[in-house]
Structure formats: structure tokens, C-alpha cells
Amino acid sequence: MQDAIPAATVVIFRERGDGPPDLLMVERAKAMAFAGGALVFPGGRIDPGDEALAATIAGAPADAAARIAAIRETIEEAGLALGLTPAPNRATLERLRQGLNAGAPLGALLAESGLSLALEALTPFARWCPAHPHMRIFDTRFYLARLPDGAPEPRVDATENVRLFWATADAVLADAAAGRARIIFPTRRNLERLARFATLAEALDDAARHPIRTITPWIEQRDGAPHLCIDDDLGYPVTAEPIDGAMRG
């Protein structure tokens, strides 16, 4: 079996006060080898620069590298800054995004701008490592974060992704059920879990009640048909789906 590719993603909550929170979703370009055309949360691979920057921080280097990757990818993909202090103004944020797109390391860009990482702004929520045959294997850490006050409207990068938008978890699930959107198995399960929360605080409480354990779905016969399954003690309200309807990548 191929080695898993370390990755990170972040679920960004935009709380409105008069209804369930919006989550930031991005639509991947159909040409992408993994999850082409699917709706996902912002994120991507953990690169060597993320690991090098994490090595300068006390604590668990793998978790720090994942948080740094989630922060970097959110700047690149959506033009939003999470986990930075002080919060960058729009001009600084645009310089960060342009620098990252040009290949500059995040650590150097932060130093030039007088910014520091505030990794505590991201809270661990889940870790998924599907191992489907003949597909790329990603070991992805999921984090929760609040949209910073005064943040600009996100803007799609128009490279790996073609669209981004805010929507409630229920709305995204409804679009998928109606055939208007495609979501892969881990995203669907996480949206179902997130749909139960009226606030970010509720989601954080749920995350604290369920210690992170790597989730690797398996295939099992249920009711005479093969289902893609996960453990039932990790906080997910739905733990199995017929495999013929599951999008795995």
C-alpha cells in the first residue's frame, strides 16, 4: 500500500446570530485528480515548509505542521487569514497570498510582515485516512476555526478550485441529496456531524468529548449490500453508506 500523504483542512464557522452557522466550502476543479468537482473544506497537503516552520515551535510537530498547512492553504485558496497575530490588514493579506502563490515560504513572509502564528485559533476536530485501493491516500487532520472579525470576503484562487461560498451544513447536504453537488465520503460524514451544532461553541464541546482517533473506513456487508463504514463511537450520526452511492475520491 502506498504511503499516506499528510494533509490538513479547516472548517471555518461564520456565525450570524439568527440561525445555524455558515461554513466555507470550496468546489474543486473537475480536472483535479483527487475529488475533482467535489465540494470540500479549504485545505491541502502539508509541505516541507510547513514542517520546517513547525520544527521551530514547541509541542507536537505533526499537529503544528498540520495547523500551519491549514492556515497557509486558507490564505492561498480563499484569501482569508486564520491563526495569525496581529490580524493582517487587507494589503498585508494580499501580499501574503501573492508571496505564497509565488512559492515563498510562509515563515519568511510572516517575518517580513511582523506577524506571528496563533495556532490555538484552530481546534482539532477529526482525523481521516481512507485507504481505498488504487486511489491516493491522504491522512487529513480536520480543524475548527471562527471567521475572524473584520475578515474580507473570501475570493477563490481559480486554480485548484473554481468556486467558494458560505452555506450551512444542512444546505450543502441537501444540494448533494438533490444531485446539485458532489461530496466525498469524509466530507459528507463531517457535514452530518456539523449539522447538529447551532454554534461553534457546541462544535468545540463535541470535539472535546471525542478524542481524536484516525478514521479509516472499511467495507462491510449490511442488509445484503456492501456498505462503507466507520466506527460508531466518534461522534458521527451516520456511520455507514451503501458503497454504490459513496463518492470516495
Domain count, the chain: 1
CATH number reported for the structural domain that contains residue 229 in this entry: 3.90.79.10
Q: Which amino acid is at 219?
A: I
- Residue ranges making up the domain that contains 42: 5-245
Q: Are 248 and 130 in contact (CB under 8 A)?
A: yes
Tell me how crowded residue 50 is: count the other CB atoms within 10 A of its CB: 25
Q: Is the pLDDT of residue 46 over 60?
A: yes
Nearby residues of 38 by Cβ (< 8 Å), 6 or more positions away:
27, 28, 182, 183, 184, 187, 247
Segment 209-245, tens digit of pLDDT: 999 999 999 999 998 899 999 999 999 999 999 988 7
Four-CA torsion 60, 61, 66, 67, nearest 10 degrees: 70
Segment 94-132, tens digit of pLDDT: 999 999 999 999 999 999 999 999 999 999 999 999 987
Q: Is the pLDDT of residue 249 over 60?
A: no
Segment 122-180, tens digit of pLDDT: 999 999 999 876 667 899 999 999 999 999 999 998 777 889 999 999 999 999 999 99
Judged by DSSP in three states, 169 sits in helix
State pTM to two decimals.
0.94
Q: What is the pLDDT of residue 248?
A: 65
Q: Are 136 and 113 in contact (CB under 8 A)?
A: no
Q: Are 93 and 155 in contact (CB under 8 A)?
A: no
